[in-house]
């Protein structure tokens, strides 16, 4: 009753006090959020300065950061990198920046890992872009893709086929009396009539099939070398990962890759000329 009477007989003052309290609460929340952001910005810069990516997760855990924004990083200038370029990739925003000190020299959209898991028998694969600090180890023009085994396993699952792994010195029956085997760097087929024909280089979604199985060719054969899939340029980051072009530009901006960072060919060609071997790459 006392509270109701206060609003009835001194309503204006009561409402003013209530409003002031609400404003003060909102301002405090904003200040706390901004303080956390400034600390995060400071420590991200410290991470770049010290080349210590481990501190990032420590800081994120302390402030409860759950987003993956690079706005604070891009607004600041890591002192150690003032005279050298470095790359920054945001997995969540699917963007790439080439930075030098406080300047942004180049930026472009990218595609990143889908994050999906693929299980085939005892094999388990997670298709995600690695986080942390990597380095541009090699620059390649018109790179060829050497598909890992999971590519063939994935294709077989999609097409309802089995798989058979072909080793040098072995052969796979074609089901019509012929045989597939390796001759030099070629995958060849011997027909029932005895003639031998090359099965050519590898082609995406057009793998060699024999007896209801997709044939996994040995490494070092042309059948295990796919041209054009990686676009026109690649910055090799090691361990099978890279920043490269694509033959599917419509996927840029999405989380669809098997772990690599894809760019439109015109963007990677421009970036390729600006980035030397040894350039640090920070992926978040």
Q: What is the C-alpha separation between 226 and 132, in angstroms, rounded?
A: 29
Q: What is the C-alpha separation between 2 and 13, in angstroms, rounded?
A: 15
Query: pLDDT per residue over 49-95, tens digit each?
Result: 334 444 444 444 444 444 444 555 444 434 444 678 999 999 999 99
Encoded tokens for 57: 């997760």
Quick check: 240 pLDDT over 50? yes
Q: What is the C-alpha separation between 109 and 276, in angstroms, rounded?
A: 20
pLDDT at residue 48 in the model = 41
Spell out the residues 6+ positions from residue 232 whose beta carbon is closer than 8 angstroms to its own: 141, 142, 245, 265, 268, 269
Among 43, 103, 45, residue whose Cα is nearest residue 79 = 45
Burial tier of 137 (Cβ tally within 10 Å: 0-12, 13-18, 19+): middle
Which H or E run contains 156?
helix 149-159
Domains and CATH numbers, the chain: 1-66 (no CATH), 112-283 (2.40.440)
pLDDT at residue 26 in the model = 56
Question: How do strand 233-238 and strand 255-257 relate by DSSP bridges?
Answer: unpaired
Flag the least confident range among 15-19, 136-140, 161-165. 15-19
List phi, psi (to 5°) of 135.
-140, 140
Query: pLDDT per residue over 167-214, tens digit each?
Result: 999 999 998 889 999 999 999 999 998 899 999 999 888 899 999 999
CB 280 within 8 A of CB 99: no
CB 207 within 8 A of CB 224: no
Among 213, 211, 189, 190, residue whose Cα is nearest residue 200 = 189
Other Cβ atoms within 10 Å of 165 Cβ, number: 14
Banded pLDDT at 215 (limits 50, 70, 90): very high
pLDDT at residue 134 in the model = 97
pLDDT at residue 101 in the model = 85
CB 262 within 8 A of CB 249: no
List phi, psi (to 5°) of 240.
85, 0
Q: What is the C-alpha separation between 224 and 203, in angstroms, rounded?
A: 9
**CA angle 175-178-179, nearest 5°?**
100
Flag the least confident range among 37-46, 152-161, 235-244. 37-46
Q: Can you state the angle between helices 11-50 and 2-9, rounded to 10 degrees?
A: 100
pTM: 0.71
Q: What is the C-alpha separation between 203 and 257, in angstroms, rounded?
A: 18
Among 171, 197, 169, 199, residue whose Cα is nearest residue 187 = 199
CB 199 within 8 A of CB 186: yes
DSSP 171: E
Query: pLDDT per residue over 100-142, tens digit each?
Result: 988 999 999 999 999 999 998 888 999 999 999 999 999 999 9
Q: What is the C-alpha separation between 143 and 124, in angstroms, rounded?
A: 27
């Amino acid at each position: 009753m006392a509270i109701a009477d206060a609003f009835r007989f001194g309503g204006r003052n009561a409402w003013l006090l209530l409003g002031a309290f609400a404003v003060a609460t909102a301002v405090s929340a904003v200040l706390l959020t901004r303080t956390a952001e400034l600390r995060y910005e400071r420590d991200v810069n410290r991470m770049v300065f010290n080349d210590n990516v481990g501190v990032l997760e420590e800081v994120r855990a302390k402030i409860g950061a759950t987003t993956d924004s690079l706005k604070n990083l891009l607004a600041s200038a890591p002192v150690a990198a003032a005279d050298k370029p470095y790359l920054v990739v945001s997995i969540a925003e699917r963007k790439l920046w080439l930075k030098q000190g406080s300047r942004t020299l180049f930026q472009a959209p990218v595609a990143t890992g889908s994050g999906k898991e693929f299980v085939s028998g005892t094999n388990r694969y997670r298709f995600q872009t690695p986080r942390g600090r990597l380095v541009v180890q090699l620059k390649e023009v018109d790179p060829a893709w050497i598909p890992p085994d999971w590519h063939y396993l994935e294709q077989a699952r999609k097409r309802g086929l089995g798989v058979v792994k072909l080793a040098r010195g072995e052969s796979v029956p074609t089901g019509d009396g012929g045989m597939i085997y390796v001759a030099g760097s070629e995958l060849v087929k011997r027909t029932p009539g005895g003639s031998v024909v090359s099965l050519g280089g590898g082609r995406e979604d057009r793998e060699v099939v024999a007896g209801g199985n997709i044939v996994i060719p040995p490494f070092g054969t042309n059948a295990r070398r796919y041209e054009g899939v990686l676009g026109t340029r690649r910055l090799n980051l090691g361990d099978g990962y890279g920043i490269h072009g694509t033959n599917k530009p419509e996927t840029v901006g999405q989380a669809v890759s098997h772990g690599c960072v894809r760019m439109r060919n015109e963007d990677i060609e421009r970036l390729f000329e600006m980035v030397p071997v040894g350039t640090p790459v920070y992926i978040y």
